[in-house]
Amino acid sequence: MHELSIAMAVVEQVDDALRERGAERVPVRSLTLRVGELSGVVPEALDFSFGVAAEGTVLADARLLIETVEGRARCGSCGRDTATGMPPDLWCGPCSRAMNLTGGRELEIARVVLDDVRPDDAGERHGDDDAPGVTGAQADAAADAPARDKEASHVPHR
Amino acid sequence: MCRTVDLHQAVLAKNDTNAVELRRTLDDRGTTAVNLMSSPGSGKTALLEALLSRAAAGGTPAAAVTADLATENDATRLARSGAPVRQILTDGLCHLEAGMLRGELEGWLPEETRLLFVENVGNLVCPASYDLGETVRIALASVTEGEDKPVKYPAAFGLAHLVVITKTDLAEAVEFRREDFLRGVQQVNPGVPVIETSARTGEGVDALLAHVLRAADGRETHTPVLARQHEKHLHHHHDDDPVADHTHAPAGAADHSHAPAGVPDHSHAPAGVPDHSHAPAGTPR
């Protein structure tokens, strides 16, 4: 159940990042993680753990959005670009050589959407201007995004 | 009104930073860390006993750290070899993290240590996600566990620099299908070396020690396909994101520094396989 450790790392990092931006008291509305199919992390377990780890923090009421990233590999010889599947098949049979992984190992905090804030709450500009990494459009998109890609396949966890 | 803050931080950035610093510290003092990963009961401790004895006999200063949820049984067993041994009790945690290992080694690891074996918690799932600052990561499976372990636990076996089969003295009794096991290994970790061992008969122990020592000399070259993408992921930077710079692992994260950056060419292509000219130019990712 290393997802609890991972959830705690997520909470700690988001907390630090917001602190650096002077926004440590601003409630987080949603948090988006990118989880690769081959990262060894089970989204369901992470979802459960996050609820525990976020208790009593600015993330307590945050909606956790998990974007799963498909495992993909490309053969450097024949150029075949394919989903690796799960378990991954990283061997190009026809070419008899190892493929190159192009996606699927991600384990990343992509973004957070902060709740309504007054301009003096933080040293950060708001969704309606062009500050780097801050866009109102993304905020809306994130809020509407499905909580999880149900198609994701998972590593058996025991 | 709400606002979005793009972070793009690796979730395990703190662990990776600890791992990178530990690897550098160990490198500077000439110590190579070997991370052993397997399910409970696969024979890690017995193999480690044999390895420590052989290392001592061959004049190689070796030490071991062993992690368990409870009991110091393994440390007691390993200490019989005469090697310096420490037990980490994880108090229920299912894996080791780099910071835990760093803390344990501080002020303890003898200066002359050439090889540091780290026996991870018996578990093929959770430990796979954590770089401990090792140079060699070994995934073990015993013949009694079934041939499909590598494909059932692709992260553990896919990220290994070396795969070790244990308890080969029992292979016949349990009708271990060696070829099936090797096929699974090849699927998730093409080109990874496999060494077959028995702690009871001593088979493969010398070969394993020799392999580890070659890696310690910087001569190990296998880089798992899965690790290559992870490295790229850890290294990428978002120039427009001031926060990311503070939290991304520094350059060199997850860089098992004795492995070349390039893709090893497992050029087993039989005669008649067309050359690379069939690769479409600029294949999209």
Q: Is A44 on the interface with B (CB under 8 A)?
A: no
CA–CA dist A34, A51 (Å, integer): 17
- Residue A98: which of B3, B191, B274 has the nearest Cβ? B191
Per-residue pLDDT of chain B (285 residues; tens, 9 = 90+): 789 999 999 999 999 999 999 999 999 999 999 999 999 999 999 999 999 999 999 999 999 999 999 999 999 999 999 999 999 999 889 999 999 999 999 999 999 999 999 999 999 999 999 999 999 999 999 999 999 999 999 999 999 999 999 999 999 999 999 999 999 999 999 999 999 999 999 999 999 999 999 999 999 779 999 998 655 444 433 333 333 333 333 333 333 333 333 333 333 333 333 333 333 333 333
Chain A partners within 8 Å of B155 (Cβ): 38-40, 155
Q: What is the pLDDT of residue B250?
A: 33
On whether A157 is known to bind a ligand per the annotation, the reply is no
- A82 backbone dihedrals φ, ψ, rounded to 5°: -150, 160
Q: What is the pLDDT of residue B279?
A: 34
- pLDDT over 70 at A128, yes or no: no
Smallest CA–CA distance from B130 into chain A, residue:
A2
CA–CA dist A134, B105 (Å, integer): 43
CA–CA dist B193, A150 (Å, integer): 36
Smallest CA–CA distance from A10 into chain B, residue:
B11
**Greater model confidence, A118 or B163:** B163
Reference A64, options A100, A10, A24; nearest CA is: A10
Chain B partners within 8 Å of A105 (Cβ): 226, 229-230, 233
Query: What three-state secondary structure class fits A48?
Result: helix
Q: Compute the count of residue pairs across chains A and B with CB atoms less than 8 Å apart.
A: 225
What ipTM, to 2 d.p.? 0.75
**What tokens does A41 get?**
């992390």
- pLDDT over 90 at A101, yes or no: yes
Q: State pLDDT tens for residues A7-31.
A: 999 999 999 999 999 998 999 999 9
- pLDDT over 90 at A126, yes or no: no
**β-bridge mates for residue B163, sequence order:** B139, B194
Long-range contacts of B191-194 (CB under 8 A, 24+ apart): B191/A98, B191/B222, B191/B264, B191/B266, B192/B157, B192/B160, B192/B161, B192/B162, B192/B163, B192/B222, B192/B224, B193/B162, B193/B163, B193/B222, B194/B162, B194/B163, B194/B164, B194/B165
Q: Is A88 on the interface with B (CB under 8 A)?
A: yes
Q: What is the pLDDT of residue B276?
A: 36
Subunit contact A158:B125, Cβ cutoff 8 A: yes
- B14 backbone dihedrals φ, ψ, rounded to 5°: -65, -45
Q: What is the pLDDT of residue B283?
A: 34
Smallest CA–CA distance from B92 into chain A, residue:
A1
CA–CA dist B62, B56 (Å, integer): 7
First-to-last C-alpha distance (Å) of chain A: 8
Q: What is the pLDDT of residue B229?
A: 66
Chain-centre distance of CA B219, in angstroms?
A: 16
- pLDDT over 50 at A143, yes or no: no
* Nearest chain B Cα distance for residue A88, angstroms: 6
On whether A75 is known to bind a ligand per the annotation, the reply is yes
On whether A126 is known to bind a ligand per the annotation, the reply is no
Q: Is the peptide bond before A87 cis (omega within 30 degrees of 0)?
A: yes
| Residue B121 · residue B93 · CB < 8 Å | yes
Query: What three-state secondary structure class fits B137?
Result: strand
Smallest CA–CA distance from B192 into chain A, residue:
A98
Q: What is the pLDDT of residue B21?
A: 98
Q: What is the pLDDT of residue A34?
A: 97
Q: What is the pLDDT of residue B228?
A: 80
Q: Is A8 on the interface with B (CB under 8 A)?
A: no
Subunit contact B280:A79, Cβ cutoff 8 A: yes
* Nearest chain A Cα distance for residue B241, angstroms: 7
CA–CA dist B78, B74 (Å, integer): 6
Picking from A61, A77, A138 by the largest number of B CB atoms within 10 A of its own CB, the best residue to mutate is: A77
**What tokens does B31 get?**
């110590």
**β-bridge mates for residue B141, sequence order:** B165
| Average pLDDT in chain A | 81
